[in-house]
Amino acid sequence: MFSRARRASLLAAFVAAAAGCAPGASAAPAPNPTEMSVTLPLKGQAGPSFLQLPDPDGGARAESRVVALPNGSAIVTGGLTAKGPTNQVLYYDPSVRAFVTLDGVALKAARYRHDATYLPTSTAEKAQILVSGGYDERSLLASVELLTIDLANLASSTSTELVPLPDARAGHRGVAIATSTRGGKPWSGTSAVLMVGGCVSNVGYDAAATSSAILYEIETGQDGLATGGKPTVTPSQPQYARYLHDVILLPGPDGVPGTDDDRVLVLGGRGANAIVATSEMLIPIGAAEVYEPALQKWSPVHFDGAAPEARFKHSLVRSFDGAGALVVGGQSSETAGATGVDSIALDARDATLGRLSRAGTLSAPRSAAEAASLDDGRVLVAGGVDPATGAARSDAEILGPGGADSPFTIGTPRFDFGLVSLGSQTVLVFGGYGASKDAFGAPAAGLLLLRK
């Protein structure tokens, strides 16, 4: 257990990191344990287990972006290492359970606290990811890069610089949307990445939260793969400036994601009802807004009954039935964490109408945790920090319609890390900070092997 003084120190560091948009100082390297005890799955074992993976070249890092690919692999972009921001692109190879550095696809700009979005232009042979913004050392970035990962020949993968964003930003959240379809078939027409909120430059001050949303329109070639893109400001704009928020793509009335009837829900964060706010003006917010691609319109969500509580550093994941969203973890004040898991459903006919209900309860408050939908519809919630004590958590729990399973280990404490489901009851845990912002998670990565 941490001493009271140590917990106070951790809490101060965590709150300072959450209080404003300015990037924190580069983290110091974590101790390098020579060996760690790992719980391996036993034949017939019913519970989850954690399997340590070899550290990637370049070592541990935090605030990377991890994207799962349909073949059970994953791509890691950027992050903050002991030596500063990195431009590395890593490929997690499930056949050997190790990371491969894709030297030919290295980012043109080293970055962390950026966004990386899997594109619907991807095929079974080539995965495409749009990387945007972030911080390089202490500067905001506007650069955008298109990664094309050749899954049959990784050496042929490419990275292409695209038209930059109209303003440099970090901490934004992006989601791929369909802007048109052919015959209503999902992801059959044009697409874009909708980028929401985050931190932008603020002359004379630290970077500040913004309410602006950018639609990055994807250009494709004859083979259907993305070849370029250009940013436009959506005709309608969100009402709230926010960061430390989250966004999610939800299906429209047809119940199938990938059509222009979809909706994008953004919820919570630290924010204010203003176009750009200084850090001192930001407070935890519960405001929900929805973007409807078919209408190219942002609208506030009005709830029938109770509205979502204010929270930031939370996660949005699909609800158990796939139709709505679950609001998981986060904190409602500088010292209070949220344990309730809320379910949000948008009206099938009117996306601006919402209904809130309680979907479960976490075993303990978790801020800066990670959540991922599993292939059986349940939700994994892992790691994070308890705002009341400053202690980083080393456990995870699985939520389902019938409640939560007992917590189990994820190796060591970590927060601000990557967590993606790779299918077949396997989840990749990558990077993050360890006990505090002064140390990285160790080991750098691992697999959670789940059992139903």
Could you give the domains of the chain? Answer: 4-449 (2.120.10.80)
Sign of the dihedral through C-alpha 269, 272, 274, 279: negative
What is the number of alpha carbons within 13 Å of residue 252 lying toward its C-beta?
19
Q: What is the pLDDT of residue 275?
A: 60
Q: What is the pLDDT of residue 93?
A: 97
* Band of residue 124 on the pLDDT scale cut at 50, 70, 90: very high
Least Cα distance to 9 among 353, 424, 390, 363 occurs for 390
Cβ-based neighbours of 187, under 8 Å, separated by 6 or more: 120, 178, 181, 258
The residue written with tokens 């704009």 in the block is 237
Global pTM?
0.91
**Plot region of 15 (φ>0 → left; ψ -120 to 50 → alpha; else → beta):** alpha
Task: Classify 216 as helix, strand or coil.
Answer: strand
**Separation of alpha carbons 90 and 142, rounded Å:** 22
Q: What is the pLDDT of residue 276?
A: 57
The single-letter code of the amino acid at 165 is L
The single-letter code of the amino acid at 104 is G
Q: What is the pLDDT of residue 281?
A: 76
What average pLDDT does this structure show over 237-241? 94
Output 300 or 411, whichever has higher pLDDT: 300
**Separation of alpha carbons 71 and 412, rounded Å:** 28
Q: Are strands 353-361 and 302-303 parallel, antiparallel or unpaired?
A: parallel
Output 184 or 276, whichever has higher pLDDT: 184
What average pLDDT does this structure show over 342-358? 96
What is the number of alpha carbons within 13 Å of residue 81 lying toward its C-beta?
16
What average pLDDT does this structure show over 214-231? 97
| Contact (Cβ atoms closer than 8 angstroms) between residue 413 and residue 11 | no
Least Cα distance to 51 among 64, 35, 37 occurs for 37
| Contact (Cβ atoms closer than 8 angstroms) between residue 192 and residue 181 | no
The single-letter code of the amino acid at 291 is Y
